[in-house]
Structure 1
Amino acid sequence: MKHVRALCVKFIASLVLLYVILTLFFGVPFGDVFVLTLFVGVVSYLVGDLMLLPRTNNITATMGDFGLSLILIWAILAMQDNPPYASLAWAAIISALGVTIFEYFFHRYMAANILDETEGEKKRENRGALQYQNEASDELYPVTPSKKRDKK
């Protein structure tokens, strides 16, 4: 149920964001924005939020979502027969930047409320930097058996 709520929040916020960017500034029809939001939202939720975010950090998942949303938005807008908007590239880049800014905050919500409370999974412990240990000895060179006899 928590995943459904998170997916609905993501869909509504992305729909409003993409409506403002694509419809008001670039003239993309609302129906196309709705389908685009549905497709991009579901794919980025499955790939970015459920697969990438638990294994990496927020910044890495946000960069992955930027690339994914840029490619998906560009591809879906390019499939239009006669696009009524001026520049396909600028529409995709600005939309992907807007989605990326939203995704940064959405990942924080997911990490705090959805991913930590998933049953059956252990919480990943992040200590920051890796702590390597070295082993040291008193001897720099190994002593061969012939040198041991000479010392006695």
Structure 2
Amino acid sequence: MNHLKALLVKFVVIALVLFIVLTLIFKVPFMDTLWISLATTVLAYLLGDLGIFKMAGRPDEFTKRNGLAAVADLLLSFLVIWLMARSLTGDDDNMFWPAALSALAITGGEWLFFHKFVDREVFNRPGKDLAGERSRR
């Protein structure tokens, strides 16, 4: 159940970022944005969060795991968004910057908030709250 909650949170954030960047700014059709959001969510969660973030270091090495997972999120998000946007819209030339901007925004959210949420809610590890204090669960 915690995985579903994490996937839902991740999907909502990614869909919101992509809606703003792709649909509102760069006029990508809304349904294309939803498909890109879904693919990015699933791949990034499986590879980035359950793979790299969970396995990149010891449980107490949050900073190391967070940094490595954020780099992976940036690269993976960019590639998925760029390739899918090019494929779905047929616009081979103009999807680089929308994908780069979207990937940067998504990665910022992952690095600042989502990995802490996953550590606490999915992996059941006490972590630092937003004020930097150790939380006990």
TM-score exceeds 0.5? yes
User: Shift of the alpha carbon at 1:86?
Assistant: 7.6
Deviations 1:22-42 (A, max 9, x none): 111111010000000001100
Q: Does 1:103 find its partner at 2:110?
A: yes
Residue 54 of structure 1 corresponds to 54
Question: More helix by proportion, 1 or 2?
Answer: 2
Q: Does 1:65 find its partner at 2:73?
A: yes
Q: Give matches, 1:16-27, under 5 Å.
A: 16-27=16-27
Work out the CA distance in 2 between the residues paired with 1:16 and 1:41: 12
SS at 1:80's partner residue? Answer: helix
Larger Rg: 1
User: Shift of the alpha carbon at 1:9?
Assistant: 0.8
- Aligned in 2, Cα 1:58/1:81: closer, same or farther, shift over 3 Å? closer
Q: Percent identity?
A: 34
Work out the CA distance in 2 between the residues paired with 1:27 and 1:21: 9
Q: Give matches, 1:3-152, under 5 Å.
A: 3-56=3-56, 57-80=65-88, 82-83=90-91, 87-104=94-111, 105-116=113-124
- TM-score, with structure 1 as normaliser: 0.72
Contact 2:40 2:80 in 1 (8 A): yes
| Unmatched 5+ stretches in structure 1 | 118-122, 124-152
| Unmatched 5+ stretches in structure 2 | 57-64, 127-137
User: Shift of the alpha carbon at 1:80?
Assistant: 2.9
SS at 2:55's partner residue? Answer: coil
Work out the CA distance in 2 between the residues paired with 1:87 and 1:59: 29
Paired residues in the alignment total 117
User: Shift of the alpha carbon at 1:116?
Assistant: 2.6
Contact 2:28 2:89 in 1 (8 A): no
Q: Pairwise CA RMSD of aligned residues?
A: 1.8
- TM-score, with structure 2 as normaliser: 0.79
- Aligned in 2, Cα 1:116/1:81: closer, same or farther, shift over 3 Å? closer
